[in-house]
């Protein structure tokens, strides 16, 4: 059995994949999902950037969601893949802090951007006459900058604390990235006060935005219910239910992981849940929010036409 209680300040990931054929199959599946997430989100960022028809608040928010997801999967998966392929699963103390900082920043920004997107659709459908004022370009930019800034501020506070915790036990993190709850199990001090801070942050960044999203889509469905067009109602119901399903895939595992006290955490359960909000959701987002949209597919055709048309 390997000894992970080395005097080095490096941390060591125990990883996600078991050393077996099943682990290899799971590794291949994760790599496939990761590549799909990279391709889908990169395509959305470039498409919205290149096509002027998509320079509206709705698609600016979509581009930010794709940008967040693009960086989100790149923060955790490449290190995990490198560790599996090379066998070197160690990460430096500073490297662990940086990974934790970017992960929490991007996670916090994504929750707020998803909330902003739900609000955008709520205003567009329920108050269309007020949309140009309530969702102007300036308001949209403030939402985006606020999401990034608030996410970074929250992440900085948690990362600084995590780096100042004395770790006097094994340096083996039973996870595939530097997740704060997993790191707390290695601390040799009482972290109950900090756990309350994590609980409060989870309520602010996960539960409250999720409530706003559910309320927004609830109001949208109520408004759509009174529409005369049966086809329009059916389309709206399908779209809203799909969006809520993907949002739930992201928020529910994230909240469940961070709301539980340290004593109730199960490493295996935490790793499985983390796959949903770190890898699976970033792959689904561009498909659900963007690539099924007729305006996006139309923009894709226009951009492809520009690059594929013969030069005069």
Angstrom CA distances, 226 to 126, 164, 218, 229, 266, stand at: 11, 56, 13, 9, 46
pLDDT digits (tens, 9 = 90+) for 178-201: 998 888 888 888 888 888 888 899
Which one of 21-25, 101-105, 163-167, 287-291 scores highest in mean pLDDT? 101-105
Q: What percent of the chain has pLDDT over 90?
A: 41
CA angle 187, 188, 192 (to 5 degrees): 70
Q: Is the pLDDT of residue 6 over 50?
A: no
Pick 124 or 147 by higher pLDDT: 147
Structural domain includes residue 79? yes
Task: Identify which of 218, 217, 207, 293 has the alpha carbon closest to the alpha carbon of residue 250.
Answer: 207
193 belongs to a structural domain: yes
Q: Kindly report the average pLDDT of the chain as a whole number.
A: 86
3 inside domain: no
Give domain status of residue 26, yes or no: yes
- 301 lies in some domain: yes
pLDDT of residue 7: 44
pLDDT by residue (tens digit) across 235-274? 777 777 778 888 888 998 988 888 887 777 788 889 989 9
- Domain total for the chain? 1
pLDDT of residue 152: 96
Is residue 228 within 8 Å of 274, Cβ to Cβ?
no
Domain of residue 291, CATH code: 1.20.1070.10
Structure tokens at 170: 């094994």
pTM of the model: 0.89
Domain with 108, as residue range(s), is 11-308
Q: What is the dihedral of CA 199, 200, 205, 209, to 10 degrees?
A: 100
Task: Establish if 1 belongs to a structural domain.
Answer: no
Tell me whether residue 294 is in a domain.
Answer: yes
For strands 90-91 and 172-173, give the pairing: unpaired
Q: Is residue 184 part of a domain?
A: yes
3-state class (DSSP) for residue 11 = strand
């Amino acid at each position: 059995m390997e000894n992970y209680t080395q005097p080095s300040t490096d941390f060591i990931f125990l990883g996600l994949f078991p050393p077996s054929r099943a682990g290899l199959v799971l590794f291949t599946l994760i790599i496939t999902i990761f590549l799909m997430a990279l391709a889908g989100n990169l395509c959305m960022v470039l498409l919205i950037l290149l096509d002027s028809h998509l320079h509206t608040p709705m698609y600016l928010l979509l581009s930010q969601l794709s940008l967040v997801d693009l960086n989100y999967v790149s923060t955790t998966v490449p290190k995990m893949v490198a560790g599996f392929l090379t066998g070197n699963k160690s990460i430096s103390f500073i490297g662990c802090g940086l990974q934790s900082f970017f992960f929490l920043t991007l996670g916090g920004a994504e929750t707020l951007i998803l909330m902003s997107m739900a609000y955008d659709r709520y205003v567009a459908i329920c108050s269309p006459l007020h949309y140009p004022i309530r969702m102007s370009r300036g308001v949209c930019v403030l939402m985006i900058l606020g999401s990034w800034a608030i996410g970074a501020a929250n992440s900085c506070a948690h990362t600084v604390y995590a780096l100042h915790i004395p770790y006097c036990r094994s340096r083996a993190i039973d996870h595939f990235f530097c997740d704060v709850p997993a790191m707390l199990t290695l601390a040799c001090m009482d972290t109950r006060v900090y756990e309350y801070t994590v609980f409060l942050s989870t309520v602010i960044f996960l539960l409250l935005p999720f409530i706003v999203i559910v309320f927004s889509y609830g109001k949208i469905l109520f408004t759509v219910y009174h529409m005369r067009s049966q086809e329009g109602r059916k389309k709206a119901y399908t779209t809203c239910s799909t969006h809520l399903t993907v949002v739930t895939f992201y928020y529910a595992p994230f909240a469940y992981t961070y709301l539980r006290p340290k004593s109730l955490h199960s490493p295996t359960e935490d790793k499985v849940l983390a796959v949903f909000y770190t890898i699976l959701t970033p792959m689904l987002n561009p498909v659900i929010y963007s690539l099924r949209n007729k305006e996006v597919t139309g923009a894709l055709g226009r951009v492809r036409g520009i690059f594929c048309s013969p030069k005069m």
